[in-house]
Structure 1
Amino acid sequence: MTSFIEPLAQESTPSIIADKLRQAISHGELKPGAQLGEADLARKLGVSRGPLREGMQRLTQEGLLVSIRNRGLFVIDMTPDDVRDMYLAREAIERAAARRIADGDHEAAGKELLAIVEQMAAAEGDPAAVSELDIAFHERLVQLAGSPRLSRMHATSITETRMCIHALAETYTLSEARIGEHKALAEAIAAGDYLLADDLLMAHMDDAITRLTNR
């Protein structure tokens, strides 16, 4: 397993530290509910506690960490209500991205997304690889909108999505329709059919919520 908690290769900054911790959370190295110890993290990252505290504060503001009085700082737990709320935010961001793409070079965007779908199909049988490509598809979808603000907002919800997938991998990977859902969405985007893409996105998000909350 790749470790994201390791000495930094460049000058330490709160932003770099926050990114390292965000990756560790999203890939399950720092698990939901885990307590963060300053001394241990500072040692593993090779940084002083000042920048570390600033980096952790950024993740607290993003909602990925929570401070509990007289206990310390913890990675959030994703309850079913949290999952639903997170997907509500993701849905809003990705629908906005799809609308922006439809007004631009939607054919090229669709081809890029279809290329990721092809990788997903080739990786079928490797649930971890398919899950990462699933995430890559949605990250690229938002990037293709060319909106830095949408991408920034999307980054936190994608981290939370990864947390859910790692914590509930068996439930999440049961669906056999995942690749087909992504293919249909990419084709709708390539065709510039925003209304269809919008409907497919909402259905896709609803399906993910059902799988991750088992409801």
Structure 2
Amino acid sequence: MTSSQRIERVTLPTQIADRLRADILAGAYECGSQLLENEVALAFGVSRGPLREAMQRLVQEGLLRSEPHRGVFVTEVGEDDLRDLFFVRGALETAAVRKIFETGDRGQTADTLTGIAGQMDIAMKSGDRIAGGDLDFAFHKTLVDAAGSKRLSQSYASVQTETRLCLHRLMGGYRSSQDLADEHFRLAGLVRSAEIGAVLDELGRHFGDPTEVLKRARKQERGQ
């Protein structure tokens, strides 16, 4: 039996966009910094045509911003943006938790979340904050997807770019490497066996004030 689905070819602009996206999310470029076409093209070993197309894709995703007559810059997430971002995330994840308690499989969801928290624990203990940030994102995305709502997941995906853009920076703002894993282990355990109110209360504590976490991260970056 043959499949009628065509295999998508990976074009050069797609490859460039994938690499540039990974570099931005890994913190290779400072937030707010300008990307000079000739320098990036030289570093990647590509011509400026496909690079421009790749950059435009990342502009559409929100990772880059284009300013007329000035150039292309890495999107910078300010404190007000961060508060608004976490407000939206909190609303979506609260809706997901309510849906899971109504119709979802709490045990299976908790098992999956606990597994991710375990990987996060290993990453943070080894000092790999990039992996820790990726796993943080995977944990919360898994929680939302477990609600089984296509539209809720789509709404969450719409803020994932900005979330990932700032998550790696926020990793340095936790009080210790163990804090991040402990909070996620606790959330997973509450999803398994607690009342919904306890889960939502813990979710609120977990989000807290992201700007305070960002301030601690900045101090750590400066070695204070």
Specify if TM > 0.5. Answer: yes
Matched, 1:11 2:13: no
| Deviation per residue, 1:177-211 (Å, 9 max, x gap) | 33232122112222373332222212211154421
Q: For 1:49-198, what aligned pairs fall within 5 Å after superposition?
A: 49=49, 52-102=51-101, 103-127=103-127, 128=129, 129-155=131-157, 157-167=159-169, 169-172=171-174, 174=176, 176-191=178-193, 193-198=195-200
Correspondence for 2:27: 28
Whether the aligned pair in 2 keeps the contact of 1:87 and 1:209 (CA below 8 Å) is no
> Structure 1 141/13 Cα, relative in aligned 2: closer, same or farther at 3 Å?
farther
| Deviation per residue, 1:103-162 (Å, 9 max, x gap) | 211210111101222233344522324444323212322232334444444345444344
Q: Please give the alpha-carbon distance, in whole angstroms, between the structure 2 residues aligned to 1:18 and 1:62.
A: 11
For 1:67, what is the secondary structure of its paired residue? strand
Query: TM-score, normalization: structure 2?
Result: 0.72
The percent of aligned pairs where both chains have the same amino acid is 40
Shift, 1:19, TM fit: 4.4
Whether the aligned pair in 2 keeps the contact of 1:80 and 1:213 (CA below 8 Å) is no
> Structure 1 181/172 Cα, relative in aligned 2: closer, same or farther at 3 Å?
closer
For 2:73, what is the secondary structure of its paired residue? strand
Q: Please give the alpha-carbon distance, in whole angstroms, between the structure 1 residues aligned to 2:205 and 2:51.
A: 40
> Structure 1 31/156 Cα, relative in aligned 2: closer, same or farther at 3 Å?
farther
> Structure 1 37/158 Cα, relative in aligned 2: closer, same or farther at 3 Å?
same
Whether the aligned pair in 2 keeps the contact of 1:100 and 1:145 (CA below 8 Å) is yes
Shift, 1:26, TM fit: 1.4
Q: Please give the alpha-carbon distance, in whole angstroms, between the structure 1 residues aligned to 2:112 and 2:45.
A: 36
Q: Please give the alpha-carbon distance, in whole angstroms, between the structure 1 residues aligned to 2:15 and 2:89.
A: 24
Whether the aligned pair in 1 keeps the contact of 2:26 and 2:168 (CA below 8 Å) is yes
Whether the aligned pair in 2 keeps the contact of 1:106 and 1:190 (CA below 8 Å) is yes
Shift, 1:77, TM fit: 1.6
| Structure label with greater radius of gyration | 2
Whether the aligned pair in 2 keeps the contact of 1:27 and 1:162 (CA below 8 Å) is no
Q: Please give the alpha-carbon distance, in whole angstroms, between the structure 1 residues aligned to 2:25 and 2:62.
A: 13
> Structure 1 116/20 Cα, relative in aligned 2: closer, same or farther at 3 Å?
same
Whether the aligned pair in 1 keeps the contact of 2:90 and 2:207 (CA below 8 Å) is yes
Number of residue equivalences: 206
Question: Which range moved further: 171-180 or 113-122?
Answer: 171-180
Q: Please give the alpha-carbon distance, in whole angstroms, between the structure 2 residues aligned to 1:17 and 1:145.
A: 34
Q: Please give the alpha-carbon distance, in whole angstroms, between the structure 2 residues aligned to 1:52 and 1:143.
A: 33
